[in-house]
Every structure is written in C-alpha cells, then in structure tokens.
Amino acid sequence: MERSDLDVQNDPSRLEPTDRRASRLKADSESALWAKFAEAATLQTFCRSWLALQCRMVPGVAGGLLLLGPPDRGPFSPSAVWPSPRRDMKYLAATAERALIQRHGLVIKRQPDPEGGARERFDVAYPIEVAGHLHGVVVLDVAARPEPQLQAVQRQLQWGFAWLEVLLRRDEAAKDVTIKQRLQAVLDLTATAVEQDRFYSSATAFVTALATRLDCDRVSLGFVRSGRIHVRAVSHSAEFRKQANLIRAIAAAMDEAVDQQMALVHPAPSGAGAAVTRAQSALAREGGAGAVCSVPVAAGGRVVGGLTLERPADRPFDPPTVEVCEAIAALAGPVLELQRREDRWLIAKAADATRAQLAQIVGPRHIGRKLAVLGLAIAVAVLATARGDYRLSAPSVMEAGIQRAAVAPFNGYIAEALARAGDIVRQGQVLCVLDDRDLRLERLKWLSQQEQFVKQYHEAMAKRSAAQVNILTAQIDQAKAQLALLDDQLSRTRLVAPFDGIVVKGDLSQSLGAPVERGQVLFEVAPLETYRVVLQIDERDVANVAVGQKGQLLLAAAPMEGLPFTVEKVTPVSTAREGRNSFRVEARLQSTPEHLRPGMEGVGKIEVDRRLLIWIWTHQVIDWVRLMVWKWLP
C-alpha cells in the first residue's frame, strides 16, 4: 500500500468532497460568531459580532461599517468594521454621512474603476433610530444585483437593527435606573435637611444621613466666614470642637476645594485632571481615612461652603460617587445656606444686609442703584439746607358772617310757603304766610265787646253812676288793648326776609297746614356778601397759629381757585372730631366771589413762616417719637 492511501485511511475527512468541507467550516464559523454574539459583555464585542453576522447573511458583501455615537448630536465614530478592523473603509464615509443627514435608507451605485476593471458595486446604508433618536448608521459594500435583491438587503438590515435597539434600550434603561437612584438619594438627603427647624439640627441630620447613605466614616459640612471655611457639622457627632487638629484639617480640605472651585478626590482616580490635593492627603493621614472627597457648596451663584467625605482606603471615591456628591451639594447646599442665614441674630442679619448694600453701591456694576443713592444724597442735602414756606393744613368750611332767624310770632298754622333753603331773597320778600282766621275772629269778638262797653258807658253817664262809669271805662281800655294786640299779630302773619341774602335753612313746602309754636325757627337767612372761614386746626399745630397770619383756601366746589384769607380769631376751646382734638380758627376772606355759599367745604393752609424743608417734612414723625419715648420712659 502506498503512503497516500494510508493517509486517506487514517484521515476519513479527506474522503469528503471539497464543497461539503467548506460548508462545514462555514457553519462552524457562524456558530462561533453566534456564541460570541450571545456572550458579548461589552458594546464593542456586541457590535463586531452583530456586523459580522449581518455581512455573512448577505451574499456578496465586501465590507461593512457601523458608526455609533451620542443620540442626535454625535460625533459618530466606527464601532465595528468588517471583515477586519484594520481595513480602510473611508470610501463608505460619504454614504454614511448622507444617510445620517437624510435619516432614511439609501442605495447608492458606485461606478467601477475603468483602469482596474472592477465590477460595479452598491453602497447600502441604513440609519439606526431608536424612539425617534438617531444613534448611528450601518453601511455595507455589496456586489451588484437586481433591485428586489437590494431591497431585500435593506430589509435584512432593518430586521437586524432589533438587536441593536435592544442593546441601546438596555443601556438607556440602566442609565435611567442609575439616574433615578441618584436623584432619589439627593431628594431624600435634601428632605432630611428641610425637616428640621433649626440650622444646626438640619446640618447634623444631613451629614449623618449622607454618611449612612454613601457608607462613609465621616462627613463634614462647613461654610465660609471671613474668607475661610468654618466647620459647622460633623456626622455622628454633636460636639466636635474638642478635636481641634482634625477640624482644622477638614477645614483646610474644604478650603482647597473651594479655592479651586472643583471636587477634589484623594487618591485621585485614573484619568483625573491636574489638581492640588495636598490638604486632602493631609486629612487622610490626620483622620485615618484612606479616601477623601471634598466638594464646594454653592448658593446664589457663589461658593458658600464645602462638603468633605471620608472613607477607608479600600473604598475609594469613583467618578459616579463624586457626581452624586456634587448633585447633593448643588441641591441641599442652598437649602442649608438659607437655614443658616435665617437662624442668626437679627443684628447679624442687619449687618449682612448693610454690607451687601454697601458692596453693591461701592463695588462695580449696579449703576441704577448708585444713581439712586446719589440722587437720594442730593435730595437730603437740599432738604437739609434749603428753606421753604411752612404751612398748616386743616379742613375748612364756609360760614356766613351774619345769620338771621325767622321765627313763628305766635302759635298758629302754616298757610303758604313761598321760599325754601337755597333761594335768593330780597329784603322784605315774603317767606311764608301763617293762617290768620282765628286772629280775625278773635278781633271781631273784641271789637263787638268794645262797642257794647261803649254803649253801657253812655247809659251809665246818663244815670250819673260814677262806679259803673269807672268799671266800663276799664273794660273799654281792655278791649282796645286786645284789639291792638290782635292787629299787631295780624301784621306779623307774613314772615319777610330781613335783608338781601340766601335762605340757608327752612323748607315748609311739605308742611302746609302744620301747626307751629311761638318762637319756633322757621327760616335762617344769611347775607351773600359777608363770609368767614372756619378751620379745624389739629392740637399739635395750634401753637403755631396767630392772629393776622395769611393763608389760602381751596374749596371742593372750586379747586382751581385759591381764596386768600387772614386769621382773625383762635378759639381757646378744643373739640373732638374723628378721634382727634382740634381748635376752631376763624379767618376773613380778602375777596368774596359770587359762587360762594355757606356750608362749602375745602382745605385751608395757614402760612406760618419759612423753615428748613427737612424739618417741615419730618417734624411730625419726630414729635410722635418724642412723645412715645416720653410716655414709656420711667
């Protein structure tokens, strides 16, 4: 037996046909790819396996390119290249860019190279969109084929995208869970700070809860005062001032983070930027903790404090934990700063507010505030040096200089009412007429009795009866007196105006036939030429009023016309009005316009003298303060 025959007998696979062997090798390769795809632990391994499987499922593929990047904004970089990562696929970049811009599948025919004699090929591209967000694109270099088969390649890619979508959604879900956990931790710690009423209790509860949540040995919180950090709370410790060296080391670590305005970690993680961490290292040695993280606390756009966390060396602070610390400081810091500022003495708050206002006035910017302060200073200077007219204001009313009353001369009844309040009357004009029928009957009675007495008198004279003559003489005189009285009353049944003027009171038009009693006031008449102004001066200002002072009156009926007057009388008796005591001051108008009427009201101002404007505007407040101080002083 020859050697070749022996080899064939020892290796049965050599007896298989060549195409069967190739098919078996291809199947073994695909099985390995599927196994690698199923066991992929990283994004890069998953993408390479996925692209290799897609390219093997599509016949005639010369190369493939998968680009992935941040959703919608990019940049999109190669995540997988087939058949080899070292192969140059730049010729597919133009098609990938067009698919990313247009955001839909493309089939682009690539012209063959006339010199190389290559056959024509097609670039098939399809963008990767998940939930409306563009994550990347895949491009295949396929051999020329009919249109239906090119569409089948696109459908194959579209079906294959389901695996990438699952991967991307899984990554997003993992990120969402992490973000939710971080957010929940931040909110829980902020709620712990808000639950307390006082700042020290809130700060202590906050750092203790933070130490428990992040598994730290110690968490410290400090705030800036006079340019340096002062530690205000330490976790699991109500009294920490005795540990002076440790507290100074913690404050130095916070100052270091505040000065650089960034989170500092010791030991620094790999890939961290350049930063000074000497104070962090010193704290790690002083406090016995191997890992330290200091985060600045900001509020209102400025750094107000620091947060320092300490852990054992076997649990260093990784970047996700540092991000959580920064988020906690960003959210809880302003809350704690607000509680700290509110939980101070009132004088400290006033001092800070004054310093803040002065800093805005003296420092840069705030042009409007500076101009306002400058204007206020100028106004105060003017008021403190300029003088003005000091005038006393008081409510005023017009009264008639003379006022006459028309009264009922006897008991009777109203027969006619010819005038009422508001009417202009002339001297001798009838105001009203009283019923005179009873008076006339009474006059007839006494007139008849007088005639009887005269007749009896003549008979007594004829009989020469001296006694009877004397009696009748007296009766005749009585009758004459009664008749004279009745004639006088009849002459006064018509009430007339005593002078030209205006009826200021009285309206009998609704009382015709009503009885009146003797002496009852029926009308009041005032002249139109004589008026006086009555001002109600407050008791605080009456000492400044004197006879002869000038003033001006504005009436509500004519606010555009000022009426000058002169003070004539100050009544030394006060009257209570609207809860305040006031004195009656009478003044005489220098001119009397025709439209004036008694009872008109307005505001009068008496000119006292010229004084400083600042005294004029502030003396009432100063006097009130003096009175209150005098009242409460022992």
Residue 586's contacts (CB-CB under 8 Å, 6 or more residues apart) are 532, 533, 534, 535, 567, 568, 569, 570, 571
Query: What average pLDDT does the segment 242-261 reach?
Result: 86
The pairing of beta strand 77-82 with beta strand 106-110: unpaired
Name residues whose C-beta falls within 8 Å of residue 196's C-beta, 6 or more positions apart in sequence: 202, 205, 339
Sequence letter at residue 483: L
How far apart, in whole angstroms, are the C-alpha atoms of residue 178 and residue 162? 24
Nearest alpha-carbon partner for 500 in 427, 430, 402: 427
Start-end ranges of CATH 3.30.450.40 in the chain?
18-174, 196-270+277-343
Residue with tokens 């009388």: 569
* DSSP annotation of 395: E
Residue type, 532: R
Question: Which of 3.90.230.10, 3.40.50.300, 3.30.450.40, 3.40.50.620 is the CATH number of 196-270+277-343?
Answer: 3.30.450.40
Rounded to the nearest 10°, the torsion over CA 314, 320, 321, 322 is: 110
Those residues with Cβ within 8 angstroms of residue 168's Cβ, 6 or more apart along the chain or in another chain? 128, 130, 135
What is residue 424's predicted lDDT score, i.e. its pLDDT? 86
In a 3-state reduction of DSSP, which class is residue 618? helix
Nearest to 255, CA basis, from 228, 275, 273: 228
Calculate the CA 526 to chain-centre distance. Answer: 59
pLDDT at res. 223: 92
143 by DSSP, 3-state: which?
strand
Helix 367-385 × helix 346-362 angle, to 10°:
100
- What is d(CA 616, CA 127) in angstroms, rounded to the nearest whole number? 82
Q: How confident is the model over 114-148, as pLDDT tens digits?
A: 444 456 788 888 787 877 778 788 888 888 888 78
What pLDDT is recorded for position 6? Answer: 36
pLDDT in tens, 464-476: 888 888 888 888 8
Q: SS3 of 605, please? A: strand
Residue pair 582/372 in contact (Cβ under 8 Å)? The answer is no
Q: 82 versus 43: which is more confidently predicted?
A: 82
CATH class of the domain comprising 18-174: alpha beta
> Most confidently modeled of 105-119, 219-233, 239-253, 258-272?
219-233
pLDDT at 40: 60
Task: Band the pLDDT of 277: cuts 50, 70, 90.
Answer: confident
Cα–Cα distance, 419 to 435 (Å, whole number): 16
DSSP string, 421-472: TT-EE-TT-EEEEE--HHHHHHHHHHHHHHHHHHHHHHHHHHTT-HHHHHHH
**Which pLDDT does position 606 carry in this prediction?**
93
Residue 111 DSSP one-character state: P
- The CA distance from 263 to 227, in Å, is 19
CA–CA dist 594, 508 (Å, integer): 27
Angle (CA) 179 180 186, round 5°: 90
Looking at residue 149, its amino acid is: Q
Q: pLDDT tens, 372-390?
A: 888 888 988 888 888 888 9
User: 367-385 and 613-632 are packed helices; what angle lies between their axes, rounded to 10 degrees?
Assistant: 90
pLDDT in the model for residue 369 = 82
What is the location of CATH 2.40.50.100 in the chain? 404-524
DSSP 8-state code for residue 92: G
The C-alpha angle 171, 175, 177, rounded to 5 degrees, equals 115
Q: Range(s) for CATH 2.40.30.170 in the chain?
A: 530-632
- Using the predicted structure, report yes or no on whether residue 572 has a pLDDT greater than 70: yes
- Give the residue from 205, 305, 289 showing the smallest Cα distance to 255: 305
User: What number is the average pLDDT over the span 535-561?
Assistant: 91
Q: How far is CA 554 from CA 550, 592, 603, in A?
A: 14, 13, 6
Looking up tokens 């004036």, which residue turns up? 596
User: What is the second-level CATH architecture of the domain 404-524?
Assistant: Beta Barrel (2.40)
Give 606's strand partners. Answer: 392, 551
Tell me the C-alpha distance between 398 and 405, whole Å: 18
CB-side neighbour CA atoms (13 Å) of 467: 0
In single-letter form, the type of residue at position 590 comes to Q
- Number of other residues whose CB lies within 10 A of the CB of residue 280: 25
For the four alpha carbons of 182, 187, 190 and 195, in that order, the dihedral sign comes to negative
CA proximity to 266, closest of 252, 283, 254? 283
- Residues 189 and 206: beta-carbon distance below 8 Å: yes
Per-residue pLDDT, 91: 79
Q: What is the amino acid identity at position 524?
A: E
Measured distance CA(224)–CA(479) in Å, rounded:
116
Considering only CA atoms, which of 247, 202, 246 is closest in space to residue 228?
A: 247
Lowest-pLDDT range, 70-74, 217-221, 605-609? Answer: 70-74
pLDDT band with cut points at 50, 70 and 90 for residue 242: low
Q: For the segment 145-198, what is each residue's pLDDT rounded down to a tens digit?
A: 887 877 777 777 777 777 777 777 666 666 656 556 666 667 777 777 777 778
Distant-in-sequence, close-in-space partners of 430: CB < 8 Å, separation ≥ 6: 418, 419, 494, 495, 496
Strands 531-538, 387-400: parallel, antiparallel or unpaired by DSSP? antiparallel
- Of 527, 537, 523, 496, give the one whose Cα is nearest residue 598: 527
Q: What CA dihedral angle connects 204, 205, 208 and 209, to 10 degrees?
A: -150
* More confident call, 522 vs 605: 605
The pair of three-digit structure tokens given for residue 165, joined into one six-digit string: 């979508």
Which residue(s) pair with 37 in the sheet? none
Residue 85 in this model has a pLDDT that exceeds 80: no
- Whether CATH 2.40.30.170 fits 530-632: yes
3-state secondary structure (DSSP) of residue 528: coil
Q: What is the mean pLDDT of residues 298-317?
A: 89
Q: Are 596 and 576 within 8 A, CB to CB? A: no
Instruction: Out of 51-60, 203-212, 439-448, 462-471, pick the least confident.
Output: 51-60
Q: Is 31 helix (H, G, I), strand (E, B) or coil?
A: helix
Exposure class string for 299-329: b at 16+ Cβ within 10 A, else e: beeebbbbbbbbbeeeebbeeebbebbbbbb
